Structure 1
Amino acid sequence: MVVLPRPSKRRARPLRQLQVLVVDRQSLFLAALAELLTAAGLTATIETTTDSEAAMEQLAGDRVDLLFCEVRSEPLGGAEIAARARDLKAKARIILLSDPEDRALLVAALSSGAVGFFTKDASPEEFLEGVDAVLAGHYVLGRDLIHTTLNRLAQPGGSSRATPRDQLSPVERNILVMVGRAASIPAIAQSRGISEKTVRTHLTSIYRKLHVRNRSEAILWLARTPLGEEAVLEN
């Protein structure tokens, strides 16, 4: 594990009880992580959710001190949540998590505003040490991510950013393909079994990741990629 000390005027741990929120698509993982944190003696009220949009609302209201979020959380991805929280100057410290096969996505999120990064197969000891370091105001990178990070930086023009397509979640890619088929927001909502508000949230995230301003520019971007072929084939 790599710990990068960061000058901070904040206490290592607030004197009051921490408000902790855990976001993941899998309920079993949520329960396991909450149990691990409780067993480690973390003085906190721990909440869990599978809905990252609801988590974003809590962050915006400054009701969270420490957030653990899966990088592929839905409807908003973990990197998107961290970036929005940074823009809002939310007080929460954010630790992003990923499955081992998603290391590249986690490394791509290094500049998102999160301060801790771990794959889900990290040892409990390393993970809890990292949590303590984050609460002390430091920046933490799990041992399992060091090789991936160095490889990315060693590439010509290397950086910690993934391509726009890499940053799209599976749900976002699906919605983008539907946009390419000229599906309306109500039609997308009905097809996905989600609210129109959630569809709009997805679209905002898609536009941001693709660096486009609106639906028309997103369709033009789509037409230049293999995803665009999916839209044509299914039309």
Structure 2
Amino acid sequence: MTIRVLVVDDQSMVRAGFRLLLADETDIDVVAEAGNGREAIAQAARFHPDVILMDIRMPELDGLEATRRILGTDTTARILILTTFDLDDYVFEALRAGASGFVLKDDPPEQLLAAVRTVAAGEALLSPAVTTRVIRHFTSARHQAPPAGFSELTAREVEVFELIARGLSNAEIGEELFISDTTVKTHVTRLLQKLSLRDRAQAIVLAYQSGLFEQS
């Protein structure tokens, strides 16, 4: 299955670079480009890409607001935020906006390709460093009420949820709980459905906004 990608960046040379990189991959197809947030919204509505590579700082409408608007009309969209700024504010705002991942533009090409594939597969992409900062930020903030649906989770799903909140991958969760990768995926899918969450990024933010596992 080919992953359809929309590249959004206000610099034409940067867009060309991403297109050149992605063009060599047989499972990835760049279906459109956009130079600002408004163009991104229009192209996303027209082409319905599987993954949107979204720059943050752009004229007319920035990537964060474009992300909010795109996800406001298409909850299945997967947006991977690209930036040169490894700053907390951008990380938190991108996650709040509903982004499924956050990578730096100067990351090695293989990391970007892996990120596209990870997000296209319905997973979230948060590096351990980003996860740590999310935890630190939200544990110092005022907590919200526990999420709707939390009481419906099974004991095993709660265990999986806690390990997701700690930033563990499916493989790591499987090793921790002595269960198969397939079983982990089943638990993750069910708990996301019960909590009405799009992906692991939202699960991590929700867990720490609610203070669910601080005493664990």
Q: TM-score range by the shorter chain?
A: 0.5 to 0.7
- Say which of 118, 135, 153 aligns to 2:120: 135
Name which of 139, 145, 153 aligns with 2:130. 145
1:19 matched to which residue of 2?
4
For residues 105-159 of structure 1, give each alpha carbon's deviation from its aligned partner in whole angstroms, at most 9, with x where no partner exists: 1332202122121121222222222211111111111455344334423434389
**Corresponding residue for residue 171 of structure 1:** none
Q: 1:66 aligns with which of 51, 70, 73?
A: 51
Evaluate the alpha carbon distance shift between residue 21 and residue 62 of structure 1 in structure 2; reply closer, same or farther with a 3 A threshold. Answer: closer
In structure 1, the gaps of 5 or more residues are 1-14, 160-235
Aligned mates of 1:158, 1:148 — CA distance in 2: 16
Q: Please give the alpha-carbon distance, in whole angstroms, between the structure 1 residues aligned to 2:143 and 2:84.
A: 23
* 1:102 Cα deviation after fit: 4.1
Secondary structure of residue in 1 paired with 2:96: coil
Structure 1 runs, 4 residues or longer, greater than 4 Å off: none
Counterpart in 2 of 1:104? 89
The aligned counterpart of 1:227 is none
TM-score (norm 1): 0.53
Following superposition of structure 1 onto structure 2, how do residues 1-235 of structure 1 map, counting pairs within 5 Å? 15=1, 17-61=2-46, 63-89=48-74, 91-143=76-128, 145-157=130-142
Provide the secondary structure at the position in 1 that maps to 2:95: coil
1:56-89 Cα distance to aligned partner (Å, 9 max, x none): 0122345333211111233222121221122212
Unaligned runs of 5+ in 2: 145-216
Structure 2 equivalent of residue 7 of structure 1: none
Which protein has the larger Cα radius of gyration, Structure 1 or Structure 2? Answer: 1
Q: Distance in 1 between matches of 2:122 and 2:139?
A: 28
Corresponding residue SS for 1:139:
coil
| Counterpart residue number, 1:188 | none
CA contact (8 A) 2:5 2:29 kept: yes
Aligned length: 144
Identity among equivalent pairs (%): 27
3-state SS of 1:104 partner: helix
